Chains A and B, each alone.
Chain A
Amino acid sequence: MNAKANITRASLAAGAGLLFAVALGVRAQQNGVQHANNFTTTEYYEPPHQQQIKSILSGAEALPQPGGLLIIKQLKLEMFNPDGKLEWVVNAPECVYDTFKGVANSPGHLQVRTGDGKFRVEGEGFLWRQSDSFLTISNNVRTVIENGAIMNTKP
């Protein structure tokens, strides 16, 4: 497994981790902040790549709920590698994040694609578990892989 692969996978996990971190931040302020509109949160890499954006999480609304829940609308998560290349983009019209359990879920739509758009997955209903980096898309899953990433004998 080469470094590039590790970066890609690490980026996806890190992006989800960012979601977790943001949720924790909002939870800490729940008593003072009812909700946030058009928010964007940017995370940077650790040195020596501290000038590079690691991920950008944005949303139209973040609504804290009782029990440590956070409703995020128009979620968009972009993850970059240390070279600045866009690696993954995640879009969801709405999801609920449980800040205590570290679980995000929604009965709605989810889109995940690589930065170059050559690998795309979408479906209805999803569950993300932060603890073991596990994503389930529950229904009507459609995956598109461009340029013969699977079963392409002849280059």
Chain B
Amino acid sequence: MVHAQTNATAPAPPASVTTNSPDATRPPRAPTRIDSDSVDFDLTKHEATYRGHVHVDDPQMKLTCAQLTTDLPESGGRPSRIVAETNVVIDFTDDKGQTNHTTSDKAVYLYNVQNGVTNETVTLTGNPQMENAQGTQAGDVIIWDRANNKIHFDNPHMIFRQNLNGATADTNAAAAGTNDLSAPKKNDE
């Protein structure tokens, strides 16, 4: 971390130090923090369950829920399955810089690498909704494909869109009127 700050303001380092330049140009990633009322570590099942006022503060997203269960990864590894339950709220910024706010009863994060292909998804169920600059969208299931940067809505039965050309005061009315436009089809964004 010190190297990154130093290199940002100092002249180019000598050649012998430039091997660190890739790390120096990339700012250190902030840690992930999980706060909760309590936690259970089950070393037989290799999982941890956080309960009560669970807050996850990650550089790429913020999550709150009542209970969060994660497998215990190997040292230096990462969890392959995280389940957040009850009043799940996730705020994240996608690769386009757009902020998204989701609510659901349950969110399941899965991560695995098969045949060199990384699969990383967050599946929202239980009245899932996603709100962003385009409006609020809902579906039976919302799948956030993080590996491919796609968001999939399964049976998007409600879509509210803001009136991008009109006054914001009319947003609700306009949004309600767009319900007819939300055809019952799969919707990928």
Are A147 and B29 within 8 A (Cβ)? yes
Tell me if B27 counts as interface (CB < 8 A to partner A). Answer: no
Give Cα A155 to B35, complex, Å: 25
Residue of A nearest to B148 (CB): A153
Residues of chain B within 8 A (CB-CB) of A153 are 60, 120, 146-147
B28 to chain A, nearest CB (A): 9
Give Cα A133 to B60, complex, Å: 33
Tell me if B78 counts as interface (CB < 8 A to partner A). Answer: yes
Residue of B nearest to A145 (CB): B32
Are A132 and B44 within 8 A (Cβ)? yes
B95 to chain A, nearest CB (A): 9
Residues of chain A within 8 A (CB-CB) of B37 are 139-141
A78 to chain B, nearest CB (A): 14
B98 to chain A, nearest CB (A): 15
**Contact partner of B75 among A4, A132, A134, CB < 8 A?**
A4
Residues of chain A within 8 A (CB-CB) of B46 are 9
Binds B, one of A21-29, A50-58, A95-103, A115-123: A115-123
Interface of A: prevailing SS? mixed
**Contact partner of B34 among A8, A118, A145, CB < 8 A?**
A145
**In the complex, chain B residues 66-81 whose Cβ is within 8 Å of any chain A Cβ:** 70, 72-79
Interface size of A by CB at 8 A reads 38
Give Cα A23 to B58, complex, Å: 40
Residue of A nearest to B52 (CB): A141
Are A135 and B38 within 8 A (Cβ)? no
Encoded as 1 (CB less than 8 Å from any A CB) or 0, chain B from 21 to 46 comes to 00000000101111111111111101
Tell me if A89 counts as interface (CB < 8 A to partner B). Answer: no
Give Cα A123 to B40, complex, Å: 12
Interface size class of B (residues with CB under 8 A): 35 or more
**Contact partner of A8 among B33, B38, B75, B120, CB < 8 A?**
B75
Are B59 and A150 within 8 A (Cβ)? no
Tell me if B61 counts as interface (CB < 8 A to partner A). Answer: yes
Are B75 and A114 within 8 A (Cβ)? yes
B14 to chain A, nearest CB (A): 27
Are A2 and B78 within 8 A (Cβ)? no
Are B73 and A141 within 8 A (Cβ)? no
Tell me if A87 counts as interface (CB < 8 A to partner B). Answer: yes
Tell me if B89 counts as interface (CB < 8 A to partner A). Answer: no
Are B29 and A152 within 8 A (Cβ)? yes
Residues of chain A within 8 A (CB-CB) of B41 are 134-137
B30 to chain A, nearest CB (A): 9
Residues of chain A within 8 A (CB-CB) of B59 are 148
Question: Can you list 11 contacts pairing A with B, beta carbon distance less than 8 Å?
Answer: A9-B46, A87-B75, A116-B75, A116-B76, A134-B43, A135-B41, A144-B32, A148-B78, A149-B77, A150-B70, A152-B78
The 9 closest A-B pairs by CB, nearest first: A5-B74, A133-B43, A143-B34, A135-B41, A145-B32, A141-B39, A146-B31, A8-B75, A149-B78
